[in-house]
Amino acid sequence: MAERHHHPRPKPGPVALALRVAVIAYLFLLVAWPLFLVVQNALASGLGPISDLLADPDVRHALRLTAVAAAVSVAISTVFGVGMSVLLVRYDFPGKRILNALVDLPLSVSPVVVGLALVLVYGGRDGWLGPALEDAGVQVIFATPGIILATTFVVLPLVIREVVPVLEEVGIEQEQAATSLGASAWQTFRRITLPSIRWAVLYGVVLSLARALGEFGAVKVVSGNVLGRTRTAPLVVEEKYLNFDRDGAYATALLLVLVSVAAIVAVSLIRNDRETT
Amino acid sequence: MALATVDQATGDRPAPRRRTGFAGQLQAGSGLGLGIAVLWFSLLVLLPLAAVVVTASEGGWSAFWAAVTTEQTAAAIRLTVGTAAVVTAVNAVVGPAIAWVLVRDEFRGKRLLELLIDIPFALPTVVAGLVLLSLYGVDSPVAIEVANTRGAVVLAYLFVTLPFVVRTVQPVLEELDPEVEEAAASLGASRVTTFRRIVLPALIPAIAAGGALSFARGVSEYGSLVLLSGNLPFRTEVTSVRILSSIENDNLPAAAAIATVLLAISLAVIVILDVIQRRAVRRG
Amino acid sequence: MRRTLRALAVLMPLTMVAAACGGDDDGAAPGGAGGEISIVGFAVPEAANKAIAEEFVQTPEGEGVTFRTSYGASGDQSRAVVSGLEADYVHFSVTSDVTRLVDEGLVAEDWDDGPNKGVVSSSIVVFAVRSGNPKGIETWDDLIQPGVEIVTPNPASSGAARWNALAAWGQVVASGGTEEEANDYLDAFFANVVALPGSGRDATTAFLSGTGDVLMAYENEAILAHQNGEEFDYIVPDTTVLIENPGAVLVDADPVADDWLAFVLSEAGQRQFALKGFRPIIDGVEFGEVDGANDPADPFPVVANLLTVAEDFESWEALSAKFFDESDGIVTKAIAASGKA
């Protein structure tokens, strides 16, 4: 295990101190304080709004739907993301650089356009593939698969972009050594490559999860927002906002943030676990 | 330029070495893997994006050009792209700084900072807009009032792109062994030199990767912006609002045209950053 | 250590799902004996529709009926129905959102032939000002005075926001001015606009957060905001536009949807709308006091000069082209001009 924080640290010089202060100030102003405001607004009337939320079957359904969609899209995106990263870094093939550039593209698409694009292809009435799929019994738009599709779309680049730099950094000798010793591609991948990128993958998963939970614009277009069926938690936030139920809107947003925070805490704990082993 | 590598299950640390090239051409197994990956990517991303481009071309080239070059739209595109570029540049500096503090620094409460980074992602944009408005709108408690100004666009972009460069740089920093830097220091290199010649080159690919994400994400932001910026034409109106206007007017080709232009610009930036990333890797 | 990682990775999504679980899949019960009505509507009447539904199921026609609902921005909802969102009854903010469905063959062409002309709920454009009206804004002329900051939702990106611009232009002509003077008024109006949020609700939020001196609002939203504790005043100007929200039953809808529409248009239905701040579309509806109105006992004061689309603007299609066309619309140009100033 790399011995990292075991030598006595010198007292931070003025530069390090200034950096620390600057970073803390930046994060405070940009994130911590807004977050504090969310918490404050959510709890302004006590825990009442939150317990009302959790008691409302429609909201529970929305939370469950969001959790499922997020989990599935993060899982899909991680599996394929790691695979694509290995392909992009370790192999050469025609069109590789184009594929590499295209991977980031989903992020640059405005959520409304994402929804629009997915409806254009998978819409049940006029889409390119939609009617055929519906004939086969698969409804994509205005149903859960559409929500998962939209969420995966926006989450897609995150794992890849986490893993690729680390894969490039790590280099290939270990893997070549393993292969020359007779390991199969899969074994090499499992025992050499995967462990070397685990933090990148983990960060990618955490980021993707956070993004998937909070995705609003694209899901709004493809889900149809049907109460009790295709309404996700962020859509609940919007609906409460539209109905002047501020407490409810903030409370729902807080729940979403808490799940994301829980994920980061889990990662932190895992890292602690590792460092003390 | 030697860099220590990641620890393996075996526990040794192999000798520092240069990064080498690729494993070579694809074998059958990975060819299949590539095929699956490309198919999935197509179904999920390429096909829908192609649909947008096709829709954009429905009115012909002249309609496309007309939609994109109306004064208001051109101004919106300039604002969007310009602000995204500025914010990406800021993130390229701030991101590694934050990652550095998270990885290398030690102080009480550091763990709390860690929790903050991903919040911008998890917060639905409606709520993000609401809280940013209450803090930095009119009557700001810290006298930073950016509502209905260009500053609002900058602020919103900074908010939603915060995690990108931080999280791409962080894993790379974690894998870097401080002992190499300490060795350089003990050989007489100043801290600046150490940073410049050992740490920075290792980070550049990650910064470029995060920067591409940051630019792309900034360009597409709408939800947290719409409350704060006021959507004033030629001043604070971003491209997403123009796209929505065209959609509202049932002018789908125009909306798709504007979206296509943004896609093209983002693609260009991503490619440029990719080239930077490549150069940095090659130099080693 | 690996085991920890794997275990956690598996546990996390599971705990999330488990935490969110805790009940059956509610809301997915198949249509009861009375049938199922899918309502797709714009956001504001959600509470009213819910109240009406509760009354409806107590009538013989409505017995056993269940509802599926989807609410959102009017234009978005309309486009969703075109893309395949299942609907039996739609309730939108502006006529063009129903016309879109007619063009796709989803709604019959004679949907607006009835006595109510397709209108299901209505309201008026009002001025929302700070509590106590410190700047003394009462008339349309007050709006274009120097130093007055106006907030109005963006007519370009929100169909529902167009009522406000219409009112601003129409009141000049209705008071005897020429079209030329009305255009000039619009230029002065938009010169004073400090924010064009994307929707009515966003505009209200921006206003309540401190932007601007006056908000172009809808009476029903102002009343709803008051009912939810927001503090501001609203003024009913002498001349304003009647906002007419259309509702229609789709061509292949469940037959009980026709009964539903009839109920919505009846006194019982309109009473629920009134209680939520909408102006009843028929006379003689008894609703008692309306919480949140300026005067709960007389919540819907008569407007001296009430403009309507049919009488003053020909039709929604005509005015869409004249005022909101993407390149030549009068309002579109006024907004663009204000930005260049």
Domain boundaries defined on chain A: 13-42, 49-276
Helix (H) or strand (E) holding B38: helix B28-41
Is residue B115 very low, low, confident or very high in pLDDT (cuts 50, 70, 90)? confident
Name the residue of chain A whose CA is nearest to C106's CA. A125
- On whether the CB atoms of residues C140 and C239 are closer than 8 A, the answer is yes
The answer for residues whose C-beta is within 8 angstroms of residue A212's C-beta and 6 or more apart is: A69, A70, A73, A74, A151, A154, A155
How far apart are alpha carbons C111 and C247 in whole angstroms? 9
- CATH architecture label of C123-243+296-340: 3-Layer(aba) Sandwich (3.40)
pTM here is: 0.84
Is residue B141 very low, low, confident or very high in pLDDT (cuts 50, 70, 90)? confident
- On whether the CB atoms of residues B153 and B79 are closer than 8 A, the answer is yes
Is residue A65 very low, low, confident or very high in pLDDT (cuts 50, 70, 90)? very high
Q: What pLDDT sits at residue A180?
A: 86
Q: Can you read off the two tokens belonging to residue B96?
A: 């590694």
What residue segments make up the domains of chain C, in order of their start?
A: 36-121+244-275, 123-243+296-340
Strand partners, C150: C193, C214
A225–C72 C-beta distance less than 8 A: yes
- Judged by DSSP in three states, C318 sits in helix
Measured between CB atoms, does A114 come within 8 Å of chain B?
A: yes
Reported as a single tens digit per residue, the pLDDT across A21-56 is 999 999 999 999 988 888 888 888 778 888 888 888
A277–C1 C-beta distance less than 8 A: yes
How far apart are alpha carbons C141 and C175 in whole angstroms? 12
Q: How far is A27 from chain C (nearest CA, A)?
A: 24
C125-145 exposure pattern, b = at least 16 Cβ within 10 A, e = fewer: bbbbbbeebeeebeebebbbe
> How far does chain C reach from its first CA to its final CA, in angstroms?
65
The sign of the CA dihedral C314, C315, C321, C326 is: positive
B34-48 exposure pattern, b = at least 16 Cβ within 10 A, e = fewer: beebbebbeebbebb
Q: What pLDDT sits at residue C121?
A: 94
B123–A264 C-beta distance less than 8 A: no
Q: What pLDDT sits at residue B52?
A: 92
Reported as a single tens digit per residue, the pLDDT across B254-272 is 999 999 998 899 889 888 8
ipTM exceeding 0.90, yes/no = no
CA distances to A109, A203, B167, C242 from A104, rounded to whole Å, are 10, 17, 15, 48
Taking the C-alpha atoms of A217, A218, A220 and A222 in order, what is their torsion angle to the nearest 10 degrees? 170
- On whether the CB atoms of residues B67 and B73 are closer than 8 A, the answer is yes
Q: Which residues of B touch C206 (CB under 8 A)?
A: 133, 137, 147, 227, 230
| pLDDT above 70: percentage of residues in chain A | 93
Give counts: helices (H), strands (E), chain A: 16, 0
Nearest to B86 by CA among B158, B26, B149, B146: B158
DSSP state of B140: -
How far apart are alpha carbons A190 and B271 in whole angstroms? 31
Taking the C-alpha atoms of A251, A257, A259 and A265 in order, what is their torsion angle to the nearest 10 degrees? -140
Measured between CB atoms, does C291 come within 8 Å of chain A?
A: no
Whether the per-residue pLDDT at B16 is higher than 60: the answer is: no
User: Which of C5, C12, C68 is closest, CB to CB, to A226?
Assistant: C68
At residue A261's C-alpha, the angle toward residues A34 and A85, to 5°, is 110
Is residue B12 very low, low, confident or very high in pLDDT (cuts 50, 70, 90)? very low
Q: Which residues of C touch B234 (CB under 8 A)?
A: 336, 339-340
Successive 10-residue mean pLDDT values, chain C, 341 residues:
50 48 42 79 90 92 91 90 92 93 93 91 94 92 93 86 92 91 93 89 88 92 90 93 94 91 93 92 87 89 91 88 88 86 56
Q: How far is A187 from chain C (nearest CA, A)?
A: 16
Q: Can you read off the two tokens belonging to residue A3?
A: 């011995």
How far apart are alpha carbons B104 and C256 in whole angstroms? 67
**Based on the number of CB atoms within 10 Å of its own CB, is A65 exposed (0-12), middle (13-18) or buried (19 or more)?**
buried
Whether the per-residue pLDDT at A5 is higher than 70: the answer is: no
Q: How far is B144 from chain A (nearest CA, A)?
A: 10
Q: Can you read off the two tokens belonging to residue C203?
A: 């505009």
- Do C36-121+244-275 and C123-243+296-340 have matching folds? yes
Question: Within its chain, how far is the Cα of B29 from the centroid?
Answer: 33
How far apart are alpha carbons B52 and B263 in whole angstroms? 10
Whether the per-residue pLDDT at B29 is higher than 80: the answer is: no
What residue segments make up the domains of chain B, in order of their start?
A: 49-256
How far apart are alpha carbons C253 and C260 in whole angstroms? 11
Reported as a single tens digit per residue, the pLDDT across B180-191 is 878 888 888 777
Question: Within its chain, how far is the Cα of A193 from the centroid?
Answer: 22
**Based on the number of CB atoms within 10 Å of its own CB, is A12 exposed (0-12), middle (13-18) or buried (19 or more)?**
middle
Measured between CB atoms, does C231 come within 8 Å of chain A?
A: no
Q: Which residues of A touch C68 (CB under 8 A)?
A: 226-229
Nearest to B163 by CA among B208, B105, B114, B199: B114
User: Which of C159, C198, C338 is closest, CB to CB, to B241?
Assistant: C198
Helix (H) or strand (E) holding A175: helix A173-180
User: Which of B105, B134, B243 is closest, CB to CB, to A112?
Assistant: B243
A112: left (phi over 0), alpha (psi -120 to 50) or beta: alpha
Q: How far is C316 from chain A (nearest CA, A)?
A: 26
Nearest to A208 by CA among A270, A154, A165, A167: A154
DSSP state of C213: S
What backbone phi and psi angles, to 5 degrees, belong to A273?
-55, -45
How far apart are alpha carbons C184 and C178 in whole angstroms? 10
B107: left (phi over 0), alpha (psi -120 to 50) or beta: beta
Q: Can you read off the two tokens belonging to residue A225?
A: 């927002």
CA distances to A34, A79, A89, A94, B16 from A86, rounded to whole Å, are 38, 11, 5, 16, 22
The answer for residues whose C-beta is within 8 angstroms of residue C309's C-beta and 6 or more apart is: C95, C242, C244, C315, C316, C319
User: Which of C154, C209, C335 is closest, CB to CB, to B134?
Assistant: C209
Which among B29-38, B272-281, C57-66 has the top mean pLDDT?
C57-66
- CATH architecture label of A49-276: Orthogonal Bundle (1.10)
Give domain B49-256's CATH superfamily: MetI-like (1.10.3720.10)
Question: Within its chain, how far is the Cα of A145 from the centroid?
Answer: 17
Reported as a single tens digit per residue, the pLDDT across B178-217 is 788 788 888 887 777 777 778 888 888 889 888 988 998 8
Whether the per-residue pLDDT at B277 is higher than 80: the answer is: no
How far apart are alpha carbons C124 and A167 in whole angstroms? 62
B230: left (phi over 0), alpha (psi -120 to 50) or beta: left
B139 C-beta neighbours (distance < 10 Å), count: 11
Reported as a single tens digit per residue, the pLDDT across A180-237 is 888 887 788 888 888 888 888 888 888 888 889 888 888 888 888 888 889 999 899 8
Average pLDDT of chain B, as a whole number: 81
Q: Which residues of A touch C78 (CB under 8 A)?
A: none
Q: What pLDDT sits at residue A85?
A: 87
Nearest to A67 by CA among A251, A232, A272: A232
DSSP state of B44: I
- On whether the CB atoms of residues C172 and C185 are closer than 8 A, the answer is yes
Is residue B10 very low, low, confident or very high in pLDDT (cuts 50, 70, 90)? very low
Amino acid C42 reads F
| pLDDT above 90: percentage of residues in chain B | 21
Q: Any idea which residue has 């202060």 for tokens?
A: A21
CATH of C36-121+244-275, one of 2.60.120.650, 3.40.50.720, 3.40.190.10, 3.30.2350.10: 3.40.190.10
Partner chains of C (3+ C-beta pairs under 8 Å): A, B
Name the residue of chain B whose CA is nearest to C160's CA. B248
Average pLDDT of chain A, as a whole number: 84
